[in-house]
């Protein structure tokens, strides 16, 4: 399959999980938002643009802080659920791709941000477009939510890899790394290479969640690789997960999450 087409399929697959995304995906730490506000010195009433809001996991805590937010969401179902979750707040949701979206007014934004979405935007477009819609001195911020493995990590995840390999969905050996908290890749070089932004803050966050069996399976159903997995593979994998977790006295799995908050300031350059 053409890698670009494969990327598009993965990117668009999240719309199929719109009805469970808000419940299944983890909340981001409040400390992350506190750090973002302190770094950018934003105030209630400032204008924010979110790239890929999904169902509003990162939008909601920022909207509750009094910001005016415009959300650009590719998936129609995700955008519809986000509208319900954010009803009554100063949030405008636009169902479009960030690459094709055009702002309706000349008013520029104080912050462009993306939570677990920046990597899905065309790298040839994302920095240039963020620069164009930001006010002078405005900020760009993005972070993901990744799996990290502290020394005391739950052994379940290493053990279940045998099943992934059995169904032909195991990671290539070169990609099968197990980053510890604080070891997730930073995008400093990529930001600076754009020539449009100055990195002002990079900080790692990590947190833990306990998942009961059904909660963990629901989480997996929001990951693109599992959404697009052949049905027989997914059935076999999920059944094996059920069996293994039900054998445990606590009937749950402990998963550690990691995020790297990147904050960069817009450079004062001639209009791009």
Q: Where are the extended beta strands (E) located within the chain?
A: 47-51, 68-73, 91-95, 109-115, 134-143, 146-148, 197-212, 252-266
Cβ proximity of 110 and 139 under 8 Å: yes
pLDDT at 1: 43
Q: How many CB atoms lie within 10 A of CB 167?
A: 16
Inter-residue contact 36 to 141 (CB < 8 Å): yes
Q: Which residue has the higher pLDDT, 191 or 170?
A: 191
Tokens of 43: 């105030």
**Domains of the chain in sequence order:** 3-150+179-208+256-266 (3.40.50.150)
Contacts of residue 177, defined as CB under 8 A and 6 or more positions apart, other chains included, come to: none
What is the pTM assigned to this prediction? 0.92
- Express each pLDDT in 92-142 by its tens digit: 999 999 999 999 877 899 999 999 999 999 998 999 999 999 999 999 999
Residue 176 confidence (pLDDT): 56
Strand-pair partners of 201: 263
**pLDDT band for position 8 (50/70/90)?**
confident
Q: Is the pLDDT of residue 174 over 70?
A: no
The total of other beta-carbon atoms located within 10 Å of residue 104's CB is 9
* pLDDT tens-digit series, residues 12-27: 788 888 899 999 999 9
- For residue 144, pLDDT over 60 is answered with yes
Ramachandran sector of residue 226 (left: φ over 0; alpha: ψ -120 to 50; beta: rest): alpha
For the ranges 8-12, 53-57, 146-150, which has the lowest average pLDDT? 8-12
């Amino acid at each position: 399959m053409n890698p670009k087409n494969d990327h598009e399929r993965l990117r668009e697959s999240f719309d199929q999980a719109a009805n469970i995304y808000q419940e299944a995906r983890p909340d981001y730490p409040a400390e992350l938002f506190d750090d973002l506000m302190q770094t950018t010195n934003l105030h209630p009433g400032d204008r924010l643009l979110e790239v890929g809001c999904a169902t509003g996991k990162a939008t909601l805590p920022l909207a509750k802080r009094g910001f005016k937010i415009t959300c650009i969401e590719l998936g129609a179902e995700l955008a519809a659920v986000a509208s319900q979750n954010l009803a009554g707040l100063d949030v405008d949701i636009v169902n479009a791709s960030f690459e094709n979206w055009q702002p309706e007014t000349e008013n520029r934004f104080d912050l462009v941000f993306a939570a677990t979405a920046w990597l899905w935007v065309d790298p040839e477009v994302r920095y240039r477009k963020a620069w164009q819609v930001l006010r002078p001195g405005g900020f760009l911020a993005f972070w993901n939510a990744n799996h990290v493995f502290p020394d005391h990590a739950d052994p379940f995840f290493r053990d279940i890899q045998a099943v992934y390999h059995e169904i032909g969905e195991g990671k290539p050996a070169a990609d099968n790394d197990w980053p510890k908290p604080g070891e997730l890749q930073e995008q400093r070089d990529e930001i600076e290479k754009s020539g449009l932004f100055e990195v002002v803050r990079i900080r790692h966050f990590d947190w833990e969640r306990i998942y009961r069996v059904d909660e963990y399976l629901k989480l997996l159903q929001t990951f693109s690789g599992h959404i697009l997995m052949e049905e027989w593979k997914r059935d076999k994998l999920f059944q094996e997960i059920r069996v293994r977790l039900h054998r445990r006295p606590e009937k749950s799995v402990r998963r550690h999450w990691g995020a790297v908050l990147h904050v960069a300031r817009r450079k004062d350059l001639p209009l791009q």
